[in-house]
Structure formats: C-alpha cells, structure tokens
Amino acid sequence: MQRKLLGLLIILGGVLCTAQKVIFTPAHKDEILERAEMNPDTDEQRASRLRVLFADAGCRGSMLSEQALEKESVPNIVCRLPGDRDGTIIVGAHYDRPSSSQRPIDNWSGAALLPGLYQCLKGHKRHRSIVFVAFSDHDNIPAGAEFFAGHLSPDELKQVRAMVNVDVLGLSPTKIWTAHSDKDLVNDMVHMVYVLKIPASQIDITSAGTTDSQPFAQRGIPQITVHSLTRQNLENRHASRFQPRNYYDSYMLLCGYIAYLDERLKARRHAG
C-alpha cells in the first residue's frame, strides 16, 4: 500500500461535545525501515546521521539545531515543528550505542524514528509546537534528557504539556510503561490503539534502569514511555530479532497519538 502520499483523517467523537480531527501523513514503510536498519557504528556517526535524516524529512534552517552538552562529546539534536497556539509537546529518544554486553539492545530504532514522526506531522497545521529531541545519553544515564530538561527556562517549562519518550522499538508489538507514565496520557494512547486498530500492551521496564522521561517527570511534566521490550528481553538481557511490521505499526500508532495529543491537550487545558 502506497502510504507516502496518503493523508489519514480520523474523526474522533466521545467525551467532547465537538468531534476532533486527527490528521497525519505517514512516510512510506520502506523509508522508515531503511532509517532504522542503517545503524551507524559510533555516537558521532549517529549524531551526523540524525542531522541528515531530519533535513531530508524537511526540518532545516532555524528549525534544526544542536544543543552541546558540557561533559559529552556529542550533542542533543533538536527539531522544532511550530504550532499556532501556546503549549509544547516534547518527543524524545536517545541515540547512544550500547557500551557493553550487559546492554545488548540498541536504542537507535527509537531515535531513527524521530525524523519520520516529524515527517508525518509537518504537512498539517498544528496547535502545539512539537519538539523532537535525539538525546545524547551514555551508559544507561539520561544525560542528554537531563541537560535538555534542566536548560528549559521557567516559562518554557510551563509551556510543556507532555513528553513522549520513545525507547527501543521493533522487537515486538508496541508496549507502554504504564506504571511510570501519566494516567491521562496512557488513556489517550489506549484510545488511539482502538481507533487505529494497532496492537499494543503494557510491560513495565523498571528493571531496565532509568529512562529519558525521568528528568521531565521530576519537573512535573506529564510523560509516557513507549517501547517494545518483552519480558524475555528484560529477564535474560537478550535482544530479539528486529520485526519490520511491528516497527512500522509503532510508527503509525505514534503518528496518530501525537496528532491526537495536539488536539486533546488543548481540550484538557480549556476544561481545567
């Protein structure tokens, strides 16, 4: 099915008095999979590759920037999609290469999805600014996420409505870390699972260590972590085979979910 030029329009009813339109235009499956499978060897190469992928997706000029970390050799890569109203949604993933055999699962698949998420959302007017951040982490320490969150001004922090943390994807159907995620954001994800008819389930990943959502949660920002780790991955520390269909399903679900949050978070603010 040719999806590259296909715009998806979903009319959502339910608790709101007026219907909501969730619109996004996903990139072609082959394009999304190629980005995930072309896995650079070093963090420096990954940072360079992400800059190219964002530019190819249309994020260029002042919308694409780097945030140099004080104690890291590679920067956070930041792409901004402007909205026409107040409020910001942050979508983040870390791109560092596993540093030891004790961490065999590579998170490049999450970071490589960020340009595709920008691509599927850019073609339609957005209410909230959406900021995509590829975090420069290392050794299971969310250094890039902490640096980014810590350098948001008080006014910028007030503008952040949600943080969507994208961890490793493509090992299984989409998973949600519900115990560590905001309840309303989880409910919105479940809603989109039913609307889009894309499978997802709940697996908590506390045993995997800290994640990039933690610095935002500590600052009172609602956040949700999406991943594909199975219980076998967590218990045995073994990586599963990459599954293209599950990876693209996760991509489609996140496209719809972020587009829905752009509408839904507006309604929450006015309702409050």
Q: What pLDDT tens digit does each residue of the chain (272 aa) get?
A: 333 334 676 655 443 333 467 899 999 999 999 999 998 989 999 999 999 999 999 999 999 999 999 877 899 999 999 999 999 999 999 998 876 555 546 789 999 999 999 999 999 999 999 999 999 977 678 899 999 999 999 999 999 999 999 999 999 999 999 988 999 999 999 999 999 999 999 988 765 567 899 999 999 999 999 999 888 877 776 777 899 999 999 999 999 999 999 998 854 443 33
Calculated CA dihedral for residues 95, 96, 101, 105, nearest 10 degrees = -10
pLDDT of residue 268: 43
Residues 130, 92 contacting (CB under 8 angstroms):
no
Measure the CA–CA gap between 51 and 57, rounded to whole angstroms: 10
pLDDT of residue 11: 58
Residues 141, 211 contacting (CB under 8 angstroms):
no
Query: pTM to 2 decimals?
Result: 0.90
Can you list the domains of the chain with their CATH numbers? Answer: 8-271 (3.40.630.10)
Reported residue count of the chain is 272
Q: What angle do CA 89, 3, 21 make, to 5 degrees?
A: 45
3-state helix/strand/coil string of the chain: CCCCCCCEEEEECCCCCCCEEEEECCCCHHHHHHHHHCCCCCHHHHHHHHHHHHHHHCCCHHHEEEECCCCCCCCEEEEEECCCCCCEEEEEEECCCCCCCCCCCCCHHHHCCHHHHHHHHCCCCCCCEEEEEEECCECCECHHHHHHHHCCCHHHHHHEEEEEEECCCCCCCEEECHHHCCHHHHHHHHHHHHHHCCCEEECCCHHHCCCCCHHHHCCCCCEEEEECCCHHHHHHCCCCCCCHHHHHHHHHHHHHHHHHHHHHHHHHHHHC
